[in-house]
Amino acid sequence: MAVDQELLSAALDQLGTGLLITSADGTVVAANQATRDLLEDATTGAMIGDTVAAAMTGSDTGRWSPRPGLVVEWSWSELLPGTAHEGRCLVLRDVSHRIADRARLRRQNRALAELVAMKAEFTAAVSHELRTPVTSIAAMSQLLGEEVTEPDPLAAPVAAVARNAARLLGLIDNVTELARIESAPPGGAGEKVALEQVVAEALHGWTAAARDAAVHLTAGGAQDATIEGERVLLRRLADAMIGIGLAAAEPGALLTVDVAPTDSGWRVTVPIGGRGGERLFTSSTATGEGVRHDSTALMLCRAIVARHGGRLTTDTDPEGSTVLAAHLPS
């Protein structure tokens, strides 16, 4: 079917992409409006004779800048090769905005990286300065606690100082670890990690605190729950989740840390429906004997889970109780 040339020319002029047609010897046969706009109607002379001709004898794609502030990406292909109407088609695209956007994104990423590094450096410095005096307070209060016992009126205040000093040390550890995770490059050294073993180790570490809080600890769920990850961080995750669960548990409660398979990996859950569950997503003071809970523990959990490509949520278990759930891909 014959196509009206004026209609075809008008249609080509509507394209935002430049099209330039040349004969086999490089003579410009046609150029649509986008091409004329990009080249400012310079479709003859040195621009076409040198730049375009040189482009068509080399690589089939490339870039050049016809004028300051403009970058054009070009590609060409042969038309009707081996015939009397043989020619070339040059496609021109203005990529100036794309290049500018990428440059702006690089600047923003660089500024963000500098900000994260500055925050990590500040956190490390403050944590270091705090750790020494708080450690001294914890040690002195522990020594005083051995000397000052009931019914001495100072026994309770000394015990409170010891508990809060221990809590501050834990908070410093959480903040330091959180800053390290946030500033670390993605994709750390991974290894095969058995989640049930990590949970068992963490539960063992919390045995004394659970006994003091009159809470029963147990592990439940699947075996051979293996994922690819950083074992040290996953152990830290289990520790933090159990600590949060203990802070929320009522005396006499059974705290079961469950590991269960999901469609995309594994789900580690800890019950949080007791006395502290309603304060989970807000800062709170120290809770029961030997049990520490603060918002930094939750932030640490979220950061570790995110680093492993997962998500931290609150879910409901089959009994209708609220649980803190770490969803980790296998």
Question: Concatenated DSSP letters for 287-299?
Answer: -STT----HHHHH
Two tokens at 261?
């398979």
Helix (H) or strand (E) holding 31: strand 28-31
Q: Mind listing the pLDDT tens digit for each residue in 44-58?
A: 443 454 555 555 555
pLDDT at 78: 85
Core vs surface per residue 112-121: b (16+ CB within 10 A) or e: eeeeeeeebe
CA atoms within 13 A on the CB side of 85: 4
Task: Report the first-to-last Cα separation within the chain, whole angstroms.
Answer: 59
pLDDT at 35: 84
Low-confidence ranges of the chain (pLDDT < 70): 1-5, 41-59, 186-189, 274-294
pLDDT at 46: 39
Fold exhibited by the domain 190-330: Heat Shock Protein 90 (3.30.565)
What 3 state SS string does 73-123 have?
Answer: EEEEEEECCCCCCCEEEEEEEECHHHHHHHHHHHHHHHHHHHHHHHHHHHH
Share of the chain above pLDDT 70, in %: 85
pLDDT at 65: 81
Write the burial class of residue 255 (CB in 10 Å: 0-12 exposed, 13-18 middle, 19+ buried): buried
pLDDT at 283: 46
Please report, for the chain, the start and end positions of each structural domain, with discontinuous segments joined by +.
Answer: 5-94, 190-330
β 322-329/311-316 pair status: antiparallel
Q: CATH code for 5-94? A: 3.30.450.20
pLDDT at 52: 57
pTM over 0.85: no
Maximum Cα interatomic distance, the chain, rounded to a whole number of Å:
111
- Nearest one of 168, 320, 326 to 239, comparing CA atoms: 326
The answer to whether 5-94 and 190-330 have equal CATH topology is: no
- Alpha-carbon span 191 to 186, nearest angstrom: 15
pLDDT at 230: 92
| Residue 267 Cα distances to 89, 191, 218, 225, 260, angstroms | 57, 18, 16, 10, 5
